């Protein structure tokens, strides 16, 4: 125990109660605690010391540190957004529409943070990028497994995109598993069917590894949902929460396109793609498509 009687657990963060916090604040006369018997609780929780060892640039140009760290920040946001989408899908499977709204709201805000990260690279002109670009070899954001998992969660499906990860068995197996389970949008469509909307059985039993295509029955369901504009219409709230996620994800793709145009123009991408042209084509894949197409009929 320390001088205030609070037990210290080595190498771990021990939960404390409100009463214990009051004891600590009283003993410190309102000042922050400066002495700890073991590792700082903050570092034990956040692993900050570990995080700050992960930036290992390949060259000497100082701009590479910005590029590398922002890429790592984006990776963390990919994982966080995917986590929230999976939480939302779990709630929808349990027919808890209200419960799905909170993780969807968080996911939309996560995507805002992800998109804001691009601002940290607005300094990068082609000459800036060229100072370290060759050192990246064939490394490309296209090879991000977590981004691919995020796309799969959103319903963007392409089995061929799993192939680059075959030499990473654990990552590859997780991607194959994610591809084989219903996406968030598949869960939404199944929910609509359970809620009594006329969704064909063939749509519910389709191969979920294949990209979903716009279906008139799903459009009709959303038209009906939006016609009931009342405070208790949780499905309408769900539609708006999903629309926010879809729009923020579309923003991510556009910000990526702009950043690539600024840094390399029409050059080929480091991962072998056509660069900006490939990014522009990827923007045509709309997330939760019937939420947009149904609006034409409202």
Backbone angles phi and psi of 48, in degrees to 5: -60, -40
- Angle of CA points 235, 239, 245, to nearest 5°: 140
What is the total residue count of the chain? 298
Contact by Cβ (8 Å): 133, 270: yes
The answer on whether 270 is annotated among ligand-binding residues is: yes
Furthest-apart CA pair in the chain: how many Å?
69
What angle do the packed helices 184-194 and 145-154 form, to 10 degrees?
Answer: 20
Cα–Cα distances (Å) from 249 to 170, 240, 253, 258, in that order, read 27, 14, 7, 14
Residue 156 CA to residue 160 CA, distance in Å, equals 12
The answer on whether 133 is annotated among ligand-binding residues is: yes
In the three-class reduction of DSSP (H, G, I as helix; E, B as strand; rest coil), residue 222 is classed as helix
Contact by Cβ (8 Å): 93, 188: no
Contact by Cβ (8 Å): 215, 190: no
The answer on whether 157 is annotated among ligand-binding residues is: no
Residue 159 CA to residue 148 CA, distance in Å, equals 11
Binding residues: 133, 256, 270
Per the annotation, binding residues for substrate are 133, 270
Q: Which residues are annotated as a binding site for heme?
A: 256
């Amino acid at each position: 125990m320390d001088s205030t009687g609070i037990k210290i657990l080595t190498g771990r963060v021990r939960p404390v109660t409100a009463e214990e916090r009051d004891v600590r604040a009283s003993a410190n006369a309102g000042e922050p605690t400066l002495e700890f018997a073991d590792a700082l609780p903050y570092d034990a929780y956040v692993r900050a010391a570990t995080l700050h060892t992960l930036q290992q640039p390949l060259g000497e140009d100082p701009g590479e540190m910005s590029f590398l760290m922002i890429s790592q920040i984006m990776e963390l946001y990919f994982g966080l957004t995917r986590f929230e989408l999976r939480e939302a899908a779990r709630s929808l499977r349990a027919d808890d529409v209200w419960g799905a709204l909170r993780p969807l709201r968080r996911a939309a805000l996560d995507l805002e943070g992800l998109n804001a990260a691009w601002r940290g690279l607005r300094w990068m002109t082609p000459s800036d990028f060229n100072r370290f670009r060759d050192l990246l070899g064939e490394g490309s954001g296209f090879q991000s497994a977590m981004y691919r998992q995020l796309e799969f969660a959103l319903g963007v499906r392409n089995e061929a995109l799993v192939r680059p990860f075959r030499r990473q068995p654990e990552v590859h197996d997780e991607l194959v598993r994610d591809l084989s389970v219903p996406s968030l949008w598949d869960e939404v469509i199944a929910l609509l069917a359970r809620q009594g909307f006329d969704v064909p059985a063939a749509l519910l039993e389709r191969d979920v590894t294949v990209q979903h295509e716009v279906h008139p029955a799903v459009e009709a369901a959303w038209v009906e949902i939006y016609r009931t504009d009342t405070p208790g219409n949780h499905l309408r709230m769900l539609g708006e929460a999903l629309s926010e996620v879809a729009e923020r994800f579309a923003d991510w793709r556009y910000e990526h396109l702009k950043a690539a145009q600024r840094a390399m123009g029409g050059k080929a991408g480091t991962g072998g793609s056509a660069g900006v042209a490939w990014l522009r084509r990827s923007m045509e894949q709309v997330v939760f498509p019937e939420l947009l197409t149904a609006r034409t009929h409202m």
